[in-house]
Amino acid sequence: MARVAFIVTTCHEFEGIKVLSGILKKHGHVADCFLHSEEKDFYRAVLDWKPDVVGIYATTGQEAWAYDYIRGWKKSLKHLKVVMGGPHPSHDLEPLTHPDVVDATTKGEAEYAILDLVNAWEADRTIEDIPNVGWLGPDGVGVQNPIRPVVQDLDTLPFPDVDVFYKYPFLRSKRVMQVHVSRGCQNSCTYCSVGLMKKDWVSGRRGEKFNRQKSVDYVCEEMNDILARYPDFKMVNFGDAALNMTRGWIQEFAEKWPKRVGLPFACNININYLNEDDIIALKRAGCVSVQFGLESGSEKVRLEIYKKGYTDDIVYSIPKLLRKHKITYRTNNIMGSPAETLEDMFETARVNKRIKPNGCTVLIYRPFKSTVLGQQDFALGRVDLERDIGPSIQNDSMMKRTDLREVVNLQKLFNVAVYVPGGEQLVRQLVRMPRNPAFDFTLLGFLWYQHAVVSGYGMLDDFKLGLKNVGQIFGKSGSQTKRSFLETLDTGSDAAVH
């Protein structure tokens, strides 16, 4: 029996960690999760728990935040091993080049990799033959082992272990609980990691699927298992890329969910796979709010460069249907990709104005090495490698552009252009000014209102969440340094991808 401590910097309940903890516990290990924001003394809390293994989840830019803590723990706990998983080490073995900190990484979905790894460390066996695991070779270069097939039937997994997050009063007393019912996505947008995950996170065996959805029965049982212990949640947010991943799933869900669970919910949807019947079923099931990625007002950019699959026809027709059936909707939008001029970005604001969303999430384009577009950007030298923008995609840009200031300012003031009468003209003047905290707070104000009030996440919860992360305002990467407040704000949504 090993003791595995997951550590997390963003105040959020992470589905991946819930699942890994569930698997480890099912196989006789002890697991817990420590949230930086929720512990009075994070360093001591983890140390006093005496872990044998520390697990870190990392998106790109977020890999190094705990390195100094780990160095300290390793001084006291001589046997401590550290594994990093998630999107970043799945595509980049750089963390292994800090052998005083990271002992192994995992690539892709890690349910059985972490189990094998913990078992091997416990028995003092080699980890060099474990599928999905990355380790440091004798020449100081990271070695990535081949991966195993992803779990094809998500119903075979134990229920995600919510207890490791809901032990924290703040997370269990929120209005909205986070739930995931699928993995993958029908689309393969070029700015998103999901496209390459589909190719890279599967073993390539014949018939292996990357897009998978839990059965409706499993989801209802999972929910009731959680609600039996934590009955106070008022609403559910499905964090999946899209709830409408499998044809017919929403219709079955609309039959069973209201009777067996009955909580209202918000979710992300792919509007190119949505029709009026689905919208009616969503409404019947209890959906109050959906979010989808518009990303660009230009159909050409959306279809030809982002490969999003959303034609103008879809972009203009689906919102009308959502309004007709009284489901609120928010859009996600990207500013500053190499595909767009500033004028294109103003066009994105105008299209939003036309389709009248209840809120606009606006992210700054970030070139991840785990995306098709990002790989091109690095290859073509479009990225300013000297610029440390921290882990967030809501704060700053690392692209080489002459209009960088305007782009970043427009991201902050986008909602003014969409929602304030005559706003576009005003914003056209303001974007030329130096960056200004007032612009940041304008963005925060709109986001908070749209997310907390319009979509029903709760004003107080969202506000408290902001306060919890206030120390992270406008941070850079690296260990224990501050990160962006904005990064953590939209925790109830899938803002990161769409």
Residues that bind ligand B12 (CB under 6 A): 10, 12, 14-17, 19-20, 55-57, 59-60, 62, 83, 85-88, 106, 109-111, 114, 180, 183, 192-194, 239, 241, 368, 370, 391-394, 487, 490-491, 493-497
Q: 266: part of which helix (H) or strand (E)? A: strand 265-268
Q: Which helix (H) or strand (E) holds 293?
A: strand 287-295
Distance CA 436, CA 443 (A): 12
Instruction: Give the residue with the Cβ less far from ligand B12, 319 or 391.
Output: 391
Paired tokens of 248: 């017919």
Task: Give CA–CA dist 364/397, Å, rounded.
Answer: 6
Give residues with Cβ within 8 angstroms of 36, minimum separation 6.
7, 8, 9, 11, 42
Q: Which does 60 bind (CB under 5 to 8 A by kind): ligand B12, ligand SF4, none?
A: ligand B12
Closest distance of CB 317 from ligand B12, Å? 25
Among 113, 192, 305, 399, binds ligand SF4 (CB under 6 A): 192
Side chain identity at residue 234, one-letter code? K
Q: How far is the CB of 90 from ligand SF4 (least distance, A)?
A: 15
Nearer to ligand B12, 19 or 410 (CB): 19
Of positions 16, 55, 85, 293, contacts ligand SF4 by CB under 6 A = 293
Among 84, 120, 241, 383, binds ligand SF4 (CB under 6 A): 241
Q: Which stretch binds ligand SF4 (CB under 6 A): 130-138, 190-198, 216-224, 424-432?
A: 190-198
The nearest distance, CB 198 to ligand SF4, in angstroms, is 9
- Our finding on whether 188 is near ligand SF4 (CB under 6 A) is yes
The answer to whether 247 and 187 have CB atoms below 8 angstroms apart is no
The verdict on 194 binding ligand SF4 (CB under 6 A) reads yes
- 294 near ligand SF4, rule: CB under 6 A: no
Provide CB contacts within 8 A for 458, sequence distance 6+.
Answer: 174, 175, 176, 452
Q: Decide which of ligand B12, ligand SF4, none touches 355; Cβ closer than 5 to 8 Å per partner kind.
A: none
- We find the least distance from the C-beta atom of residue 239 to ligand SF4, in angstroms, to be 11
In angstroms, how far is CA 63 from the centroid of its own chain?
A: 15
Q: Which helix (H) or strand (E) holds 258?
A: helix 249-260
H-only helix segments in 391-458: 404-419, 423-430, 437-448
Q: Which residues contact residue 170 at a Cβ distance below 8 angstroms, ignoring those fewer than 6 apart?
A: 11, 38, 464, 468
Residue nearest to ligand B12 (CB): 85
Q: In this complex, which beta carbon is closest to ligand SF4, that of residue 37 or of residue 237?
A: 237
Q: CA geometry: angle at 236 spanning 233 and 238, to 5°?
A: 150
Choose the contact partner of 38 out of ligand SF4, ligand B12, none; CB within 5 to 8 A by kind: none
List of residues 6+ apart from 451 with CB closer than 8 A: 330, 359, 457, 462, 489, 490, 492, 493
Q: Which of 59, 270, 296, 484 binds ligand SF4 (CB under 6 A)?
A: 270
**Nearer residue to ligand B12 within complex by CB, 52 or 111:** 111
Do the Cβ atoms of 201 and 210 come closer than 8 Å? yes
Query: Which alpha helices (H) appear in 167-248, and where do they start and end?
Result: 169-172, 194-200, 216-229
The token duo for 475 is 């941070």
Which position among 37, 187, 237, 392 is part of the footprint of ligand SF4 (CB under 6 A)? 187
Q: Does 493 bind ligand SF4 (CB under 6 A)?
A: no
| Binding-site partner at residue 412 among ligand B12, ligand SF4, none, CB < 5 to 8 Å by type | none
Residue 377 binds what, of ligand B12, ligand SF4, none (CB under 5 to 8 Å, by partner type)?
none
Residue type, 389: I
Q: Considering the complex, what minimum distance in angstroms separates the CB of residue 138 from ligand B12?
A: 23
Nearest-Å Rg of the Cα atoms of the chain is: 22
Task: Rule CB under 6 A: say whether 145 interacts with ligand SF4.
Answer: no
What is the Cα–Cα distance from 431 to 414, expressed in whole angstroms?
Answer: 10
Q: How far is the CB of 329 from ligand SF4 (least distance, A)?
A: 15
* Contact between residue 96 and residue 135 where contact means Cβ atoms under 8 Å apart: yes
- 116/494 with CB nearer ligand SF4: 494
Q: C-beta of 498: minimal distance to ligand SF4 in Å?
A: 4
The amino acid occupying position 444 is: L
Residue selected from 154, 364, 465, 497 as contacting ligand SF4 according to rule CB under 6 A: 497
Residue 393 is a binding residue for ligand SF4 (CB under 6 A): no
Contact by Cβ (8 Å): 469, 485: yes
> What residue has token string 């044809």?
247
Selected from 113, 130, 189, 327, the binder of ligand SF4 by CB under 6 A is 189
CA distances from 418 to 195, 325, 334, 342, 412 (A): 30, 23, 14, 15, 12
State the minimum distance, in angstroms, from the CB of residue 240 to ligand SF4: 9
Residue type, position 454, single letter:
V
Q: Binding to ligand SF4 (CB under 6 A): which residues in 195-224?
A: 195
Element (H, E) at 67: helix 67-76
φ, ψ (nearest 5 deg) of residue 47? -60, -45
Nearest-approach distance from CB 263 to ligand SF4, in angstroms: 24
Q: Which of ligand SF4, ligand B12, none is residue 202 near (CB under 5 to 8 Å by kind)? A: none
Residues near ligand SF4, by CB under 6 A:
185, 187-189, 192, 194-195, 241, 270, 293, 497-498
